[in-house]
């Protein structure tokens, strides 16, 4: 951090005249400034392909996080819009009732006027800001018939309820406006991140693009090897479990299987649902990633997993941040087809596990729904595995 200490000259100053030491320093500074002014500005060094790849990956990751924020805000906006519509409908209905009550009181006022009764009091009531206060002050209620009293009570009740609902509708409209502004901000944030990534890629030469493709190929190969390792580990663990179960059955007889019937039923139920979710997901392979999309022509990552499990009769929330909290978290070693795999510390990406270390997911803008290793970005970015049903 730069020091903020006051500068002190090394030379001395006599009657406003610089000493030679200070004069020399001043001349040196002038020379350096002159050289700097005349020198051509140095261009920033061009980033390496590895740096470009990391930067692009980071931007896509940031775009996905911004997309989930956009999805959450859009859901909130939709809910608030429904509430506003409901409140406005309620206000309209109550206003109609209030008008009916006012008309009935008006008819009483007209009748009182024709008979010479206290019509001015009733007419003034219709214009009063607070009818109840007006009644208290004028004691009009003492001069009304039972039927008129009922009409007045209805009028007071409807006016109070209508005023309350109008205030609620006004507040909800303000909240909706604020949320819509946040939605617009989230959308612009996604677009900025994607534009920056596209700009970086557009500046690459053909040779650099080929090198970038080679880097991506190596990453995929490494991810596929890791997926194969997981599949082998799970196969070995499954074989060992089957051998242990067979040994137990031989030792204890049929009674040894009684404790596993409930678990088998649960597994079968989950497998049936997972098969439906996976069947749906496979039919979406090849469709484009579009941020904020929930199908049927395009998807983002959480839109795809939501649609897949909905096909199996399971309703998942819209965003990765909410989907991760639905169901049971399981260790990576125990992952099963149909499970949801979440990525990054901010839980901004999700895929649907299909087995053998692979998943179906909507990867990123510019890509298509595809089957890919869950280690596509390395094991370190896997956040958690959740069994949603």
pLDDT in tens, 98-115: 788 777 767 766 665 555
Any residues with CB less than 8 A from the CB of 140 and at least 6 apart, and which? 118, 121, 122, 125, 134
Q: Catalytic residue among 4, 61, 361, 383, which?
A: 361
| Spatial distance between the Cα atoms of 347 and 129, rounded to a whole number of angstroms | 54
Q: Answer yes or no: 383 catalytic.
A: no
Q: Catalytic residue among 4, 61, 301, 383, which?
A: 301
Task: Provide φ and ψ at 2, rounded to 5°.
Answer: -70, 145
Confidence class of residue 20 from pLDDT cuts 50, 70 and 90?
very low
**Please, are residues 287 and 369 in contact by the beta-carbon 8 Å criterion?**
yes
Any residues with CB less than 8 A from the CB of 258 and at least 6 apart, and which? none
Confidence class of residue 153 from pLDDT cuts 50, 70 and 90?
confident
Residue 305 clears pLDDT 70, i.e. is over it: yes
Lowest mean pLDDT among 41-50, 188-197, 360-369: 41-50
Q: 3-class SS at 300?
A: coil
Q: Catalytic residue among 4, 61, 349, 383, which?
A: 349
Q: Answer yes or no: 61 catalytic.
A: no
**pLDDT at position 134:** 52
Looking at every residue in the chain, the average pLDDT score rounds to 82
Q: Tokens 């800001």 — which residue? A: 129
**Interval 40-47 mean pLDDT:** 63
Helices (H), the chain: 20-38, 49-115, 119-127, 131-138, 146-202, 206-252, 261-284, 301-311, 320-323
Residue 373 clears pLDDT 90, i.e. is over it: yes
Confidence class of residue 32 from pLDDT cuts 50, 70 and 90?
very low
**pLDDT at position 36:** 45
**pLDDT at position 188:** 96
Question: pTM of this prediction?
Answer: 0.73
- The single-letter DSSP state of residue 142 is G
**Interval 347-358 mean pLDDT:** 98
**Interval 263-267 mean pLDDT:** 71
| Spatial distance between the Cα atoms of 373 and 294, rounded to a whole number of angstroms | 23
**pLDDT at position 1:** 43
| Spatial distance between the Cα atoms of 258 and 252, rounded to a whole number of angstroms | 11
End-to-end Cα, the chain, rounded Å: 54
**Interval 2-16 mean pLDDT:** 40
| Spatial distance between the Cα atoms of 22 and 24, rounded to a whole number of angstroms | 5
């Amino acid at each position: 951090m730069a020091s903020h200490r006051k500068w002190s000259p090394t030379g001395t100053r006599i009657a406003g005249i610089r000493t030679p030491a200070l004069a020399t320093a001043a001349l040196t500074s002038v020379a350096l400034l002159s050289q700097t002014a005349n020198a051509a500005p140095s261009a920033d060094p061009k980033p390496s392909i590895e740096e470009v790849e990391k930067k692009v990956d980071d931007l896509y990751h940031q775009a996905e996080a911004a997309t989930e924020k956009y999805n959450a805000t859009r859901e909130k906006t939709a809910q608030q819009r429904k509430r506003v519509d409901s409140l406005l409908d309620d206000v309209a209905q109550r206003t109609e009732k209030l008008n009916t009550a006012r008309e009935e009181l008006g008819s009483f006022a007209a009748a009182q006027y024709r008979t010479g009764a206290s019509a001015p009091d009733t007419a003034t009531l219709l214009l009063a800001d607070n009818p109840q206060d007006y009644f208290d002050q004028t004691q009009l209620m003492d001069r009304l018939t039972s039927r008129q009293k009922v009409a007045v009570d209805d009028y007071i009740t409807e006016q109070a309820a209508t005023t309350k609902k109008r205030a609620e509708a006004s507040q909800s409209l303000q909240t909706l406006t604020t949320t819509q502004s946040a939605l617009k901000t989230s959308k612009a944030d996604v677009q900025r991140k994607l534009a920056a990534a596209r700009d970086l890629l557009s500046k690459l030469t053909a040779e650099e693009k080929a090198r970038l493709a080679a880097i991506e190929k190596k990453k995929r190969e490494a991810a596929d090897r890791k997926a194969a390792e997981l599949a082998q580990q799970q196969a070995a663990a499954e074989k060992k479990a089957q051998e242990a179960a067979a040994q137990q059955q031989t030792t204890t007889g049929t009674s040894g299987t009684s404790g596993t019937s409930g678990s088998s039923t649960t597994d079968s139920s989950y497998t049936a649902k997972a098969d439906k979710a996976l069947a749906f997901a496979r039919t979406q392979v090849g469709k484009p990633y579009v941020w904020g999309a929930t199908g049927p022509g395009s998807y983002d990552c959480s839109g795809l997993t939501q649609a897949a499990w909905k096909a199996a009769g399971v309703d998942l929330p819209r965003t990765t941040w909410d989907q991760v909290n639905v169901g049971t978290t399981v260790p990576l070693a125990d992952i099963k087809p149909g499970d949801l795999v979440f990525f990054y510390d901010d839980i901004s990406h999700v895929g649907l596990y299909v087995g053998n270390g692979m998943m179906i997911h909507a990867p990123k803008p510019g890509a298509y729904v595809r089957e890919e290793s869950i280690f596509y970005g390395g094991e370190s970015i896997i956040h958690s595995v959740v069994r949603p049903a």
